[in-house]
Homo-oligomer: A and B are copies of this chain.
Amino acid sequence: MAKHNAAPAACEPYPRPLCTVDVIILTLLDATLQVLLVQREDAPGEPFPGRWALPGGIVDTQHDRSLEDCARRKLLDKTGVVAPHLEQIGSWGDAVRDPRGWSTTHVYLALLPAATLHPRRGGNAADLRWFPLEPPAGGPALPPLAFDHARLLGAGLARLRGKAEYTSLPIYLLPQTFTLSELQAVFQVVLGRSLEKKAFRTRILASGLVEELDEMKETSRRPARLYRRKTDEGLHYFPRALESHGGSVGPS
Protein backbone atom coordinates (compact mmCIF):
# COMPACT_ATOMS: atom_id res chain seq x y z
CA MET A 1 0.00 0.00 0.00
CA ALA A 2 2.77 2.42 0.81
CA LYS A 3 4.43 1.18 -2.36
CA HIS A 4 1.28 1.94 -4.30
CA ASN A 5 1.14 5.49 -3.04
CA ALA A 6 4.76 5.88 -4.01
CA ALA A 7 4.02 4.90 -7.63
CA PRO A 8 1.96 8.04 -8.38
CA ALA A 9 4.75 10.23 -7.11
CA ALA A 10 7.26 8.32 -9.26
CA CYS A 11 5.62 8.52 -12.74
CA GLU A 12 2.79 11.04 -12.20
CA PRO A 13 3.83 14.65 -11.81
CA TYR A 14 0.69 15.67 -9.88
CA PRO A 15 -1.43 14.18 -7.11
CA ARG A 16 -4.51 12.14 -7.87
CA PRO A 17 -7.95 13.58 -7.19
CA LEU A 18 -10.06 12.28 -4.36
CA CYS A 19 -12.55 9.80 -5.81
CA THR A 20 -16.05 9.53 -4.35
CA VAL A 21 -19.50 8.21 -5.24
CA ASP A 22 -22.71 9.97 -4.27
CA VAL A 23 -26.17 8.42 -4.55
CA ILE A 24 -29.41 10.32 -5.01
CA ILE A 25 -31.95 8.00 -3.40
CA LEU A 26 -35.56 8.88 -4.20
CA THR A 27 -38.87 7.41 -3.16
CA LEU A 28 -42.52 8.38 -3.06
CA LEU A 29 -44.09 8.88 0.38
CA ASP A 30 -47.38 10.63 1.12
CA ALA A 31 -47.75 11.47 -2.57
CA THR A 32 -44.51 13.41 -2.34
CA LEU A 33 -41.12 12.78 -3.84
CA GLN A 34 -38.59 12.29 -1.02
CA VAL A 35 -34.80 12.26 -1.04
CA LEU A 36 -32.69 10.44 1.55
CA LEU A 37 -30.06 12.61 3.20
CA VAL A 38 -27.40 11.89 5.77
CA GLN A 39 -26.17 14.29 8.36
CA ARG A 40 -22.42 14.55 8.39
CA GLU A 41 -20.39 14.07 11.55
CA ASP A 42 -19.94 17.17 13.65
CA ALA A 43 -16.24 16.62 14.13
CA PRO A 44 -13.34 19.06 13.83
CA GLY A 45 -11.42 18.67 10.60
CA GLU A 46 -14.47 17.21 8.82
CA PRO A 47 -15.58 19.28 5.82
CA PHE A 48 -19.14 20.63 6.26
CA PRO A 49 -19.59 19.28 9.82
CA GLY A 50 -23.21 18.56 10.80
CA ARG A 51 -24.39 19.45 7.34
CA TRP A 52 -26.90 17.32 5.42
CA ALA A 53 -25.56 15.55 2.36
CA LEU A 54 -26.34 12.90 -0.23
CA PRO A 55 -25.34 9.41 0.90
CA GLY A 56 -21.97 8.46 -0.50
CA GLY A 57 -18.30 8.54 0.21
CA ILE A 58 -14.85 7.56 -0.82
CA VAL A 59 -14.36 4.65 -3.21
CA ASP A 60 -12.84 1.68 -1.40
CA THR A 61 -10.28 0.42 -3.88
CA GLN A 62 -9.73 -2.66 -1.73
CA HIS A 63 -13.30 -3.92 -1.78
CA ASP A 64 -15.31 -2.07 -4.43
CA ARG A 65 -14.92 -3.81 -7.75
CA SER A 66 -16.25 -0.81 -9.71
CA LEU A 67 -17.81 2.62 -9.30
CA GLU A 68 -21.23 1.06 -9.65
CA ASP A 69 -20.43 -1.53 -6.98
CA CYS A 70 -19.49 1.33 -4.69
CA ALA A 71 -22.83 3.00 -5.39
CA ARG A 72 -24.69 -0.25 -4.74
CA ARG A 73 -22.81 -0.69 -1.47
CA LYS A 74 -23.69 2.81 -0.30
CA LEU A 75 -27.31 2.25 -1.25
CA LEU A 76 -27.55 -1.10 0.52
CA ASP A 77 -25.79 0.40 3.50
CA LYS A 78 -28.33 3.18 3.84
CA THR A 79 -31.57 1.55 2.77
CA GLY A 80 -31.07 -2.16 3.32
CA VAL A 81 -32.37 -2.95 -0.14
CA VAL A 82 -31.23 -3.28 -3.73
CA ALA A 83 -32.85 -0.59 -5.84
CA PRO A 84 -34.95 -1.76 -8.77
CA HIS A 85 -33.43 1.13 -10.68
CA LEU A 86 -29.93 2.56 -10.44
CA GLU A 87 -28.31 4.68 -13.14
CA GLN A 88 -25.24 6.84 -13.46
CA ILE A 89 -26.13 10.51 -13.78
CA GLY A 90 -22.67 11.86 -14.44
CA SER A 91 -19.37 12.84 -12.90
CA TRP A 92 -18.16 16.11 -11.48
CA GLY A 93 -14.54 16.87 -10.86
CA ASP A 94 -12.67 20.04 -10.03
CA ALA A 95 -10.38 21.73 -7.52
CA VAL A 96 -13.01 23.73 -5.63
CA ARG A 97 -16.02 21.54 -4.87
CA ASP A 98 -14.32 19.98 -1.85
CA PRO A 99 -12.17 21.81 0.71
CA ARG A 100 -9.89 18.76 0.79
CA GLY A 101 -8.65 19.63 -2.70
CA TRP A 102 -9.13 18.31 -6.21
CA SER A 103 -11.92 15.76 -6.12
CA THR A 104 -14.26 13.82 -8.37
CA THR A 105 -17.64 12.42 -7.60
CA HIS A 106 -19.66 9.94 -9.60
CA VAL A 107 -23.34 10.50 -9.13
CA TYR A 108 -25.93 7.76 -9.29
CA LEU A 109 -29.72 7.95 -9.14
CA ALA A 110 -31.61 5.22 -7.28
CA LEU A 111 -35.39 4.90 -7.42
CA LEU A 112 -37.15 2.84 -4.79
CA PRO A 113 -40.67 2.05 -3.69
CA ALA A 114 -41.33 3.26 -0.16
CA ALA A 115 -43.00 0.13 1.17
CA THR A 116 -40.01 -1.90 2.27
CA LEU A 117 -37.71 0.90 3.38
CA HIS A 118 -35.97 1.04 6.71
CA PRO A 119 -33.29 3.73 6.49
CA ARG A 120 -30.23 2.72 8.45
CA ARG A 121 -27.75 5.04 9.95
CA GLY A 122 -24.60 3.19 9.09
CA GLY A 123 -21.00 4.28 9.37
CA ASN A 124 -20.28 7.62 10.92
CA ALA A 125 -23.42 9.42 9.81
CA ALA A 126 -25.03 11.48 12.58
CA ASP A 127 -28.55 11.07 11.23
CA LEU A 128 -30.43 9.74 8.22
CA ARG A 129 -33.75 11.10 7.05
CA TRP A 130 -36.19 11.41 4.16
CA PHE A 131 -36.80 14.95 3.02
CA PRO A 132 -39.77 15.92 0.84
CA LEU A 133 -39.01 17.74 -2.35
CA GLU A 134 -41.18 20.55 -3.54
CA PRO A 135 -42.82 20.61 -6.92
CA PRO A 136 -40.57 22.05 -9.62
CA ALA A 137 -42.07 25.54 -9.51
CA GLY A 138 -41.38 26.01 -5.80
CA GLY A 139 -37.87 24.64 -5.81
CA PRO A 140 -36.66 22.17 -3.19
CA ALA A 141 -37.37 23.11 0.39
CA LEU A 142 -34.31 21.46 1.81
CA PRO A 143 -31.66 22.34 4.33
CA PRO A 144 -28.49 23.71 2.78
CA LEU A 145 -26.46 20.74 1.58
CA ALA A 146 -22.80 19.98 1.98
CA PHE A 147 -20.29 20.35 -0.87
CA ASP A 148 -22.02 20.87 -4.21
CA HIS A 149 -24.73 18.35 -3.38
CA ALA A 150 -27.58 20.77 -4.12
CA ARG A 151 -26.29 20.94 -7.67
CA LEU A 152 -25.91 17.18 -7.92
CA LEU A 153 -29.43 16.66 -6.60
CA GLY A 154 -30.70 19.18 -9.14
CA ALA A 155 -29.06 17.23 -11.93
CA GLY A 156 -30.60 13.97 -10.70
CA LEU A 157 -34.07 15.48 -10.50
CA ALA A 158 -33.69 17.02 -13.93
CA ARG A 159 -32.74 13.60 -15.28
CA LEU A 160 -35.77 11.95 -13.67
CA ARG A 161 -38.15 14.65 -14.91
CA GLY A 162 -36.69 14.73 -18.37
CA LYS A 163 -36.89 10.98 -18.75
CA ALA A 164 -40.44 10.86 -17.37
CA GLU A 165 -41.52 12.64 -20.57
CA TYR A 166 -40.52 9.78 -22.82
CA THR A 167 -39.80 6.68 -20.68
CA SER A 168 -41.38 4.59 -17.96
CA LEU A 169 -38.80 5.69 -15.36
CA PRO A 170 -41.17 6.86 -12.57
CA ILE A 171 -42.64 3.34 -12.40
CA TYR A 172 -39.68 2.31 -10.22
CA LEU A 173 -40.98 4.55 -7.42
CA LEU A 174 -44.02 2.31 -7.10
CA PRO A 175 -44.39 -1.00 -5.25
CA GLN A 176 -44.68 -4.32 -7.10
CA THR A 177 -48.38 -3.92 -7.80
CA PHE A 178 -50.27 -0.74 -8.47
CA THR A 179 -53.39 0.66 -10.08
CA LEU A 180 -53.25 2.72 -13.23
CA SER A 181 -54.35 5.73 -11.25
CA GLU A 182 -51.43 5.26 -8.87
CA LEU A 183 -49.10 5.01 -11.85
CA GLN A 184 -50.54 8.17 -13.31
CA ALA A 185 -50.23 9.93 -9.96
CA VAL A 186 -46.52 9.12 -9.66
CA PHE A 187 -45.88 10.50 -13.15
CA GLN A 188 -47.79 13.62 -12.20
CA VAL A 189 -45.80 14.13 -9.02
CA VAL A 190 -42.50 13.71 -10.86
CA LEU A 191 -43.50 15.95 -13.75
CA GLY A 192 -45.25 18.52 -11.59
CA ARG A 193 -48.30 18.69 -13.78
CA SER A 194 -51.45 16.73 -14.46
CA LEU A 195 -51.82 14.31 -17.34
CA GLU A 196 -54.94 13.48 -19.30
CA LYS A 197 -56.21 10.20 -17.95
CA LYS A 198 -57.40 8.55 -21.14
CA ALA A 199 -54.27 9.41 -23.06
CA PHE A 200 -52.13 8.12 -20.21
CA ARG A 201 -54.02 4.83 -19.89
CA THR A 202 -53.90 4.26 -23.63
CA ARG A 203 -50.14 5.00 -23.63
CA ILE A 204 -49.36 2.59 -20.82
CA LEU A 205 -51.67 -0.23 -21.89
CA ALA A 206 -50.54 -0.05 -25.52
CA SER A 207 -46.87 -0.13 -24.57
CA GLY A 208 -46.83 -3.69 -23.27
CA LEU A 209 -45.03 -2.37 -20.22
CA VAL A 210 -47.49 -3.70 -17.62
CA GLU A 211 -49.61 -6.79 -17.24
CA GLU A 212 -52.93 -6.86 -15.47
CA LEU A 213 -53.50 -9.00 -12.43
CA ASP A 214 -56.66 -10.82 -11.44
CA GLU A 215 -56.73 -8.83 -8.23
CA MET A 216 -58.59 -5.61 -7.58
CA LYS A 217 -57.54 -2.96 -5.14
CA GLU A 218 -60.28 -1.99 -2.69
CA THR A 219 -60.58 1.77 -2.69
CA SER A 220 -63.19 4.05 -1.12
CA ARG A 221 -64.97 4.12 -4.45
CA ARG A 222 -64.97 1.77 -7.34
CA PRO A 223 -62.41 -1.02 -7.02
CA ALA A 224 -59.44 -0.65 -9.34
CA ARG A 225 -57.61 -3.35 -11.23
CA LEU A 226 -54.07 -4.07 -10.11
CA TYR A 227 -51.15 -4.16 -12.53
CA ARG A 228 -47.47 -4.92 -12.30
CA ARG A 229 -44.45 -4.25 -14.46
CA LYS A 230 -43.72 -7.15 -16.80
CA THR A 231 -40.61 -8.93 -15.58
CA ASP A 232 -38.88 -8.90 -18.96
CA GLU A 233 -39.45 -5.17 -19.29
CA GLY A 234 -36.51 -2.92 -18.52
CA LEU A 235 -36.85 0.81 -18.95
CA HIS A 236 -39.41 1.45 -21.67
CA TYR A 237 -38.97 4.16 -24.28
CA PHE A 238 -42.14 5.61 -25.77
CA PRO A 239 -42.05 6.65 -29.44
CA ARG A 240 -43.44 10.06 -28.59
CA ALA A 241 -42.75 12.37 -25.68
CA LEU A 242 -45.59 13.66 -23.59
CA GLU A 243 -46.71 17.07 -24.66
CA SER A 244 -45.79 19.74 -22.19
CA HIS A 245 -47.25 23.17 -21.85
CA GLY A 246 -44.18 25.30 -22.28
CA GLY A 247 -40.56 24.30 -22.01
CA SER A 248 -38.66 21.82 -24.09
CA VAL A 249 -38.91 18.11 -23.98
CA GLY A 250 -36.12 15.70 -23.22
CA PRO A 251 -33.30 15.22 -20.76
CA SER A 252 -31.44 18.29 -19.62
Residues of chain A touching chain B, judged by Cβ–Cβ distance below 8 Å, are 1-2, 4-5, 7-9, 12-19, 58-62, 65-67, 69, 88, 90-95, 100-102, 104, 106, 166-167, 237, 239-241, 243, 248-250
Contact = CB atoms under 8 A, between A and B. Distances in A.
A17 B19 contact: yes
Contacts of A59: 17, 93, 102
B250 A167 contact: yes
Contact of A19 (B16, B100, B101): B16
A104 B67 contact: yes
Given A8-B5, A95-B65, A104 B240 contact: no
Contact of A61 (B15, B65, B88): B15
Given A65-B95, A91-B67, A95-B65, A16 B14 contact: no
A2 B8 CA distance: 11
A26 B190 CA distance: 36
Contact of A249 (B90, B92, B237): B237
Contacts of A19: 16-17, 19, 93, 104
| Minimum-distance CB pairs A-B, first 3 | A237-B250, A67-B93, A66-B94
Nearest to A167: B250
Contacts of A88: 90-91
